[in-house]
């Protein structure tokens, strides 16, 4: 079962306004952002695949991660979570089996794809579904390799969209080539093999974030990575050992404050941030634009490197920056906010090889075009990327972020340097990843207020 104490329930269900107005202003100071969503998902799922009970510290209270907690509970795990000093603390104990009802993954593509992998290793059928946005996202990239492992995967349009009904069990992992450099697809195959008790090799065209490999290795499994030809990961059969897992602060959440410092000419410091090389792809572009980036390493969280990161934008953003290939893979979630930084700097930004943006929580390239238009700025979009001229300034206006949390937060950061207030519809989507975003925005000196008739601060 899953148990939340009263304070945790308040934290996880904190009301996020559907509509806010952000006034221009300066963001500066220090902020400790929530735990890393990617690691939080994996801590709950892999923790339930171990040989005992995993003690968890710093799990983020985002809607996406809580959906994963509820999902592993529905699959037979025992989850206890309560409010801690940096997020949710508690335990997870397996095993995981086929559930007796469909699993609602909410808005979380990570939860659905990783749990589809786990389900492929279970003798039985698991049905995975989610909200309107998730039901539109592509799943063929994970359905096809899971079928190649021996699982049965059914769903709309030949299981290229959710809901997915996954029936295991696989008998032999074998070797598989992923069509995309996706940590979620790679992790689904690795977790299918772990649950089924077999080994597997996954070949990807480029390296991608390696949280799953690091966690499995820390739990005693043999995981080898070869980067000679793209990225090949080989996992040997075994049962992961239960260990304590501390979730570092999320670099994808900290990225918004780093960007605010860069475009505002201020200094923002974020302690305890995970600096896994596959997750800090935004820092090199910020430095290339002209911001000063300082990384002060701290004690690691298990096998994950951790640091205090400071970004100083006082020197201005003078350089043009281009991103493509592996750089895009490492910064895929931060490309919307990088587009804002590119527009506000002198040199602009060009992004290629980013067709993956079309299939995120929204078509993020199309959504960026809507955001730029709403704020009176210019962006040239292509099927796989965009070009942003430099030297621009946003104007006041209204933008509908729909169901995309990163577009809502990017709009809020852009508003800090706009010529007038910016109203953001769909702001409630931020609760899926960063429910305390508005509070942290205000703590750094920003002005953000509900515009939908709700009372009090967001």
Residues designated as active site: 333
* Spatial distance between the Cα atoms of 79 and 98, rounded to a whole number of angstroms: 17
Number of Cβ within a 10 Å radius of residue 395: 13
Q: What are phi and psi of 72, to 5 degrees?
A: -70, -30
CA atoms within 13 Å, Cβ hemisphere of 8:
22
Laid out side by side, the sheet with 245-246 consists of: 2-4, 78-83, 88-93, 53-59, 245-246
- Whether the link from the prior residue into 163 is cis, omega within 30° of 0, is yes
376 and 395 in contact (C-beta within 8 Å)?
yes
Phi-psi region of 385 (alpha: psi -120 to 50; beta: other; left: phi over 0): left
Read off the tokens for 238. 């075994």
* Spatial distance between the Cα atoms of 171 and 88, rounded to a whole number of angstroms: 36
β partners of residue 55: 91
């Amino acid at each position: 079962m899953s148990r939340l104490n009263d304070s945790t329930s308040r934290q996880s269900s904190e009301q996020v306004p559907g509509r806010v107005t952000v006034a221009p202003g300066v963001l500066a100071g220090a902020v400790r952002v929530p735990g890393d969503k990617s690691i939080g998902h994996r801590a709950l799922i892999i923790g339930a695949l171990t040989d005992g009970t995993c003690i968890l510290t710093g799990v983020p209270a985002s809607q996406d991660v809580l959906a994963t907690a509820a999902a592993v509970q529905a699959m037979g795990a025992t989850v206890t979570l309560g409010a801690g000093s940096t997020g949710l603390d508690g335990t997870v104990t397996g095993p995981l089996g086929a559930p007796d009802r469909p699993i609602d993954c909410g808005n979380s593509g990570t939860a659905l794809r990783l749990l589809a992998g786990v389900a492929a290793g279970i003798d039985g059928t698991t049905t995975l579904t989610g909200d309107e946005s998730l039901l539109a996202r592509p799943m063929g990239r994970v359905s096809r390799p899971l079928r190649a492992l021996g699982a049965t995967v059914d769903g709309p349009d030949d299981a290229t969209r959710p809901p997915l009904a996954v029936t295991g069990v696989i008998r032999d992992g074998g070797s598989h080539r992923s069509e995309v450099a996706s940590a979620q697809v790679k992790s689904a195959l690795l977790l299918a093999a772990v649950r089924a008790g077999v080994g597997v090799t996954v070949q990807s065209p480029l390296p991608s974030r390696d949280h799953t490999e690091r966690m499995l290795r820390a739990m005693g499994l043999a995981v080898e990575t070869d980067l000679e030809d793209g990225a090949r990961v080989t996992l040997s059969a075994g049962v992961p050992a239960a260990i304590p897992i501390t979730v570092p602060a999320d670099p994808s959440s900290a990225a918004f404050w780093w960007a605010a410092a860069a475009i505002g000419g201020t200094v923002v410091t974020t302690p305890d941030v995970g600096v896994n090389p596959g997750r800090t792809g935004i820092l090199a572009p910020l430095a290339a634009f002209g911001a000063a980036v300082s990384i002060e390493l701290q004690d690691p969280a298990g096998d994950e490197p951790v640091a205090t990161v400071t970004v100083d934008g006082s020197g201005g953003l003078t350089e043009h920056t281009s991103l493509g290939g592996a750089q895009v893979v490492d910064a895929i979630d931060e490309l919307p906010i990088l587009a804002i930084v590119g527009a506000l700097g002198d040199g602009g930004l060009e992004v290629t090889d980013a067709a993956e943006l079309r299939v995120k929580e929204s078509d993020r390239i199309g959504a960026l075009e809507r955001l730029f238009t709403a704020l009176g700025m210019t962006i040239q979009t292509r099927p796989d990327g965009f070009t942003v001229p430099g030297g621009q300034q946003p104007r006041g206006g209204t933008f509908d972020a729909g169901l995309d949390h990163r577009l809502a937060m990017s709009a809020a950061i852009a508003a800090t340097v706009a010529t007038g207030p910016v109203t953001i519809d769909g702001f409630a989507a931020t609760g899926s990843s960063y429910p305390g975003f508005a509070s942290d925005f205000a703590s750094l000196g920003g002005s953000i207020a509900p515009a939908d008739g709700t009372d009090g601060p967001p």
